[in-house]
Chains A and B, each alone.
Chain A
Amino acid sequence: MNDEESCSQAESYWKANVWLLIKLLAVWGFVSFGCSIILVDYLDQFSFFGFKLGFWFSQQGAILVFICLIFLYTKRMNTLDRKFTSRESKRDSEEQF
């Protein structure tokens, strides 16, 4: 296998990984620090299932979003893992023949 190529492969895998983390953590920060704390009084003017919206975010909504974020991450990473490992093994097998 070409060393340089595998190096850039690893780098683009890592970059894709970090980029995904940044996106997910931005949502995480917005929902927890944003909706549940900084914007809470503003959101409280809206009503949601009988709750003030800001209050609901801080005691229910944020937790539900956190769960979605982890499962989304798991799914995206599995796709990413498959994409990069299959590329690698494909190249490996090509080299063998």
Chain B
Amino acid sequence: MTTQTLTFLFIGSSFALYIAIAIWSRAGSTRDFYVAGEGVNPIANGMATAADWMSAASFISMAGIIAFLGRDGSVYLLGWTGGYVLLALLLAPYLRKFGRYTVPDFIGERYYSRTARLVAVLCLIFVSFTYVAGQMRGVGIVFSRFLEVEVTTGVIIGMAIVFMYAVLGGMKGITYTQVAQYCVLIFAYLVPAIFISLMVTNNPVPQLGFGSELNDGSNVSVLQKLDSVLTDLGFSPYTEGQKSTVDVLAITAALMFGTAGLPHVLVRFFTVPKVSDARLSAGYALVFIAILYTTAPAVAAFARLNFVDTIHETPYENAPSWFSQWESIGLVAWKDKNNDGVMQYGAGHALEPQRPKFSDERGPSGQRLLENSPSVSNNEIYIDRDIIVLANPEIAGLPSWVIALVAAGGVAAALSTAAGLLLVISSAVSHDLLKKTFMPKINDRQELFCARIAAAIAVFVAGLFGIYPPAFVAQVVAFAFGLAAASIFPALFLGIFVKSITREGAVTGMLAGLLFTFFYIVFFKFIEPSQNIPANWIFGISPEGIGTIGMILNITATITVSRFTPKPPKNVGKIIKELRLPPS
């Protein structure tokens, strides 16, 4: 069977599975819809959290980013796992003890204020929509490359599936489909990684493999080889960092605190039966996540090495078939600067401007010609980092069923995260905006109906993002973390751990953190991208890491304003006191 038939088969059968689960786990009440009836087993919740968490960015992009950043890529590994420690220790058990439906619920009641609730809803919707848009790009890439259908068709199929289980099943449907999606995605990630590790080093454990010696009898380890190969090509060594320590610290912290403040992850801990289950399931979640996150750097190292091996100094005519396939959808490109018909790879951008613009013509070797002018470097290869994981099995020459499996895994990762985000958006609208603010008189059945309508609208909007992706999507996803770190995390943390915080303090803090971070990012990324250099950054911190400063600003503002405003009322003191009691 061809790769394409296999891919259809794998993706088709996984979709059938998701739909079956959706029908089996329909939601009957708002409690089912928002928090799956609070009856999810902690291990199942751990898996669902892991699938919820590991998005197209984790599955498709992360290893690619690490492959090209080397040690500097560790910020993502550290940030996106370290945040779970904060989540498990500082937030999850208390939010579960509080026992309501949404994150703004907690903020609204703890800060006895409708304004605080609305500000929280604003932060939540902002963070979630930027994130959802990134998922749809992932679905689009997989569909266009492996099924050779239009991106639009791919996105519509994906949205139809999400619509089925998110709108019908709410949190209950999402939870059990996410468990299935976790199994699909982790299997799809590990199989090629194990294959490649065996091929390159004879070691079946990729986590150990990328520190082992190559099996070509040369007595050098994978990382040593990579360091020397890259240095020869003019890159800096793979195992050494290039970013400043301050910036690395700030980015890591922003990702960590942002992770702990992401609403779609937080809400997963509302779904377990007991407080002790919330703690435990955060632990399980991190185990399930770590299986992928410790494999990713190994995949990254192998992929970079294989990529250089197969492409550098290879005549285009002999290039492997994956090269021309990715070239046909514009994610790799070759500009033959020295007209020798051989591809040379090296440091520096290949093209001017950096992104390829193809003309309709073919060159003497059969390559797609580019309108870009050549850059000064000797590098002739443009490669989009997002293809590394998807192309990896092909680069390593693995059988076609592995390639099909990876495609199904990528779609599972994107859909599971998209569904979780859409649910958070819809419950924020139906519960926090309608029931708790503007239409308090609706009953449970009407609220459930509104939640379904809101989910349907959110699915539709997310689909539009996928079909007409705003150019800035890829850049913005990472900033969702900065915004969450600067707005939601401090409000929750201080709300639990500091009794004297007032509503005025919390609202000022959230707005200060959100606005500061937002404008810093918008200024350097969109208004003056040319000024985006270390010399201009505050304390040398890049827009990726500025969430950390935003968070410190938020905490300072919250505490200062709280000192000069009237104390919180007695019943709030009681709520906090109860949060701090041992669970009964």
Residues of A at the B interface (CB closer than 8 Å) are 10, 13-14, 17-18, 21, 24-25, 28, 32-33, 36-38, 40, 44, 49-52, 55-56, 58-60, 62-64, 66-67, 69-71, 73-74, 77-78, 80-81, 84-85, 88
Contact = CB atoms under 8 A, between A and B. Distances in A.
Contact of A64 (B249, B283, B290): B290
7 contacts: A21-B89, A28-B85, A55-B239, A58-B78, A63-B293, A64-B290, A88-B582
Given A14-B580, A58-B74, A37 B279 contact: no
Contacts of A85: 582-584
Contacts of B293: 63
A63 B580 contact: no
Contacts of B213: 50
B297 A73 contact: no
Given A32-B252, A40-B241, A58 B208 contact: no
B290 A67 contact: yes
B81 interface: yes
Contact of B279 (A51, A56, A77): A77
B90 A84 contact: no
Interface of B: 66, 71, 74, 77-78, 81-82, 84-85, 88-90, 93, 207-208, 211-213, 221, 223, 239, 241, 245, 248-249, 252-253, 256, 276, 279-280, 282-283, 286-287, 290, 293-294, 297, 497, 577, 580-584
Given A50-B212, A67-B283, A81 B583 contact: yes
Contact of B248 (A21, A24, A37, A74): A37
B283 A59 contact: no
Given A33-B252, A77-B276, A77-B279, A56 B81 contact: no
A70 B290 contact: no
A70 B85 contact: yes
A49 to B, nearest CB: 5
Nearest to B282: A70
Given A49-B208, A62-B81, A70 B276 contact: no
Contacts of A21: 89-90
A69 B85 contact: yes
A73 B279 contact: yes
B245 A63 contact: no
Lowest 6 CB-CB distances: which A-B pairs, in order? A50-B211, A58-B74, A70-B283, A59-B297, A51-B211, A84-B582
A65 B66 CA distance: 21
Contact of A36 (B78, B279, B581, B582): B78
Contacts of A49: 208, 211
A14 B498 CA distance: 12
A5 B431 CA distance: 39
A78 B277 CA distance: 10
B71 A55 contact: yes
Contact of A56 (B90, B211, B212): B211
B221 A37 contact: no
Nearest to A25: B89
Given A70-B84, A70-B282, A74-B283, 8 more contacts: A49-B208, A60-B207, A64-B290, A64-B294, A67-B287, A78-B276, A84-B582, A85-B584
A37 B249 contact: yes
A38 B582 contact: no
Which secondary structure dominates where chain B touches chain A? helix
A63 B78 CA distance: 7
Of A17, A44, A49, A60, chain B has the most CB atoms within 10 Å of the CB of A60
A59 B74 contact: yes
Given A49-B208, A58-B77, A67-B286, A10 B577 contact: yes
B578 to A, nearest CB: 9
Contacts of B584: 85
Nearest to A56: B211
A59 B166 CA distance: 35
A78 to B, nearest CB: 6
Contacts of A55: 71, 223, 239
A28 B81 CA distance: 11
Contacts of B581: 10, 13
B95 to A, nearest CB: 15
Contacts of A62: 77-78, 81-82
A64 B211 CA distance: 17
A44 B239 CA distance: 9
A33 B273 CA distance: 34
Contacts of A67: 283, 286-287, 290
Contacts of A58: 71, 74, 77-78
A59 B77 contact: yes
B89 to A, nearest CB: 5
A60 B294 contact: yes
B55 to A, nearest CB: 18
B239 A52 contact: yes
Nearest to B276: A78
B455 to A, nearest CB: 31
A81 B90 CA distance: 16
A68 to B, nearest CB: 9
Question: Counting chain A CB atoms within 10 Å of each CB, which of B78, B88, B253, B580 scores highest?
Answer: B78
Nearest to A68: B283
B492 to A, nearest CB: 15
Contacts of A33: 249, 252-253
Nearest to B208: A49
Contacts of B245: 37-38
Contacts of B282: 70
B228 to A, nearest CB: 14
B241 A63 contact: no
Given A44-B239, A49-B211, A67-B290, A28 B82 contact: yes
A21 B91 CA distance: 12
B89 A66 contact: no
A88 B583 CA distance: 12
Contacts of B580: 10, 13-14, 17
Given A25-B89, A49-B211, A60 B297 contact: yes
